[in-house]
């Protein structure tokens, strides 16, 4: 039987979409242009490669990201299964061994009998008469981006995303750093580099003076707030970092009994614990500057870098003008979009949109009405936001409780409110699963 559904892009969203379709018993063709053509950020040919952080953020149901992950688990998400299976210690967060994670997703996709893979760059959509899901991500090739622009009749928006450096653990001075998680939650899973005030201010001043890679003349410097380069964030003032990624709150150096003035946290990046990611240190500094400046951090004086930080341009469509909450385009009900190209921001958010697109593409094939996920769920709230926001001010969005409808709660009981929101959401997801 020839596939009647095509998915373009084998990232998080595309892999999830293809998996959901295949699990419904339908043949699906998954197109991926790597390794024949690489993007500015990808380094491998593996599916669902993580190009920025290895963290999927909080696992707690009192956090919107944690709730979203649980919704996905209930709905049998491939990405969540692989993430849970390749987890590394990260306190109350879910972080993964990025290589093992991508390898596992790739193996699952390659061995599924209903998924056919073709390594090919797609330059036009839709593909023939197939139901098509565009999940090419924020690094969509220029040719396809131009085709989508003509097809949708809408200008693309863009912002710049950044990734943090990764250092070799063996190169750290373990006499100067200490193991801890904030407030000792879930064990001591982070390496912490403590700074006193003088050390911090010297580092801060060097950060402001560091040389950066320049943008092209025609490009406007626009960053997503949740992935702001550390040197750009620093320009907001000397206290910005100590109330942001370098905040010492919940951390005490047990060797001295003192709370540092600022703390740089390092999070385990692989299963073996040989690589550590500099938390919150997304950067566009030149590589030699990263080495010079970041080595001023206590414990990193002789740090060797497995990967320097970098910046790349992300592209996303104006979804409020283009998409329904089902992830279908308004002009063509057989054409779907999913992932960061739609304006959801984050690994699990991309996964969620891929799951919605995949399930609904299968329903279209069955001549059934596509599902609009309940707005009381994080999945439904995200789909509603990106398709109903004011197009004039549309910007990428991560999961957050503010997207959900209000619920009755004692005003001072914020934890109780989050518990109620989570309970309501998971009840809706369980009810929905019985209809899928």
Dump strand ranges (E) for 240-308.
262-268, 275-278, 305-307
Pick the CATH number of 5-156+317-433 from 3.30.1360.200, 3.50.50.60, 3.20.20.120, 3.40.50.300: 3.50.50.60
Say if residues 94 and 377 touch (Cβ distance below 8 Å).
no
Count of CB atoms situated within 10 Å of the CB of 163: 23
Q: What is the pLDDT of residues 102-111, one digit of tens each?
A: 999 999 999 9
Q: What is the pLDDT of residues 46-76, one digit of tens each?
A: 899 998 789 999 999 999 999 999 999 999 9
> What is the C-alpha separation between 281 and 163, in angstroms, rounded?
7
DSSP string, 94-108: EEE-HHHHHHHHHHH
Say if residues 274 and 166 touch (Cβ distance below 8 Å).
no
Q: Which residue has the higher pLDDT, 417 or 28?
A: 28
Cis, peptide link before residue 396, omega less than 30° from 0: no
DSSP string, 297-349: STT-TT--EEE--EEEEEEE--HHHHB-TTSBBSS-TTEEE-SGGGTB-SHHH
Q: Which residue is associated with the tokens 């400046």?
A: 293
The answer for residues whose C-beta is within 8 angstroms of residue 231's C-beta and 6 or more apart is 207, 208, 210, 212, 283, 284, 285
Domain with CATH 2.40.30.260 in the chain: 163-313
Q: What is the pLDDT of residues 184-238, one digit of tens each?
A: 777 789 999 999 999 999 999 999 999 998 655 444 566 666 778 999 999 999 9
**What kind and span of H or E run contains 69?**
helix 64-74
Pick the CATH number of 163-313 from 3.30.2310.20, 2.40.30.260, 3.40.109.10, 3.40.50.10310: 2.40.30.260
Domain with CATH 3.50.50.60 in the chain: 5-156+317-433
Instruction: Classify burial at 244, counting beta carbons within 10 Å of its beta carbon; exposed 0-12, middle 13-18, buried 19 or more.
Output: middle
């Amino acid at each position: 039987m020839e596939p009647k559904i095509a998915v373009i892009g084998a990232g998080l969203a595309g892999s999830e979409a293809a998996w959901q379709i295949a699990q419904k018993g339908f043949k699906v063709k998954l197109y991926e242009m790597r390794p024949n053509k690489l993007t500015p950020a990808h380094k491998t040919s593996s599916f669902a490669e993580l190009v920025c952080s290895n963290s999927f953020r909080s696992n707690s149901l009192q956090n919107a990201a944690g709730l979203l992950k649980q919704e996905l688990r209930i709905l049998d998400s491939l990405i969540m299964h692989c993430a849970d299976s390749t987890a590394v210690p990260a306190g109350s967060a879910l972080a993964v061994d990025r290589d093992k994670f991508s390898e596992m997703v790739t193996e699952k996709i390659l061995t599924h009998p209903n998924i056919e893979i073709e390594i090919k760059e797609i330059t036009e959509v839709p593909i023939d008469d197939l139901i098509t899901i565009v999940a090419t991500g924020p690094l969509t090739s220029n040719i396809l981006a131009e085709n989508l622009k003509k097809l949708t009749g809408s200008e693309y928006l863009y912002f710049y995303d950044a990734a943090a450096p990764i250092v070799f653990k063996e190169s750290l001075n373990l006499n100067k750093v200490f193991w801890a998680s904030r407030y000792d939650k879930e064990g001591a899973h982070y390496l912490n580099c403590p700074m006193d005030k003088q050390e911090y201010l010297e580092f801060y001043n060097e950060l402001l003076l560091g040389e950066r890679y320049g943008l092209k003349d025609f490009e406007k410097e626009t960053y997503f707030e949740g992935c702001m380069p550390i040197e750009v964030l620093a320009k907001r003032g000397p206290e910005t970092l100590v109330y942001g990624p370098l905040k010492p709150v919940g951390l005490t150096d047990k060797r001295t009994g003192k709370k540092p003035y600022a703390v740089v946290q390092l999070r385990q990046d692989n299963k073996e614990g040989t690589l550590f990611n500099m938390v919150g240190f997304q950067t566009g500094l030149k590589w030699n500057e990263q080495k010079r400046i970041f080595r001023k951090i206590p414990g990193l004086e002789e740090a060797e870098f497995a990967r320097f930080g970098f910046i790349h341009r992300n592209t996303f469509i104006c979804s409020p003008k283009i998409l329904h909450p089902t992830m279908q385009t308004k002009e063509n009900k057989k054409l779907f979009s999913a992932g960061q190209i739609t304006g959801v921001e984050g690994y699990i958010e991309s996964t969620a949109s891929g799951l919605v697109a995949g399930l609904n593409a299968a329903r279209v094939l069955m001549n059934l009405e596509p599902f609009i996920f309940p707005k009381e769920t994080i999945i439904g709230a995200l789909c509603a936001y990106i398709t109903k926001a004011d197009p004039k001010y549309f910007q990428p969005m991560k999961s957050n409780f503010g997207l959900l409808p209000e619920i009755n709660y004692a005003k001072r009981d914020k934890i109780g409110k989050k518990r109620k929101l989570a309970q309501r959401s998971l009840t809706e997801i369980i009810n929905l699963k019985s209809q899928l």
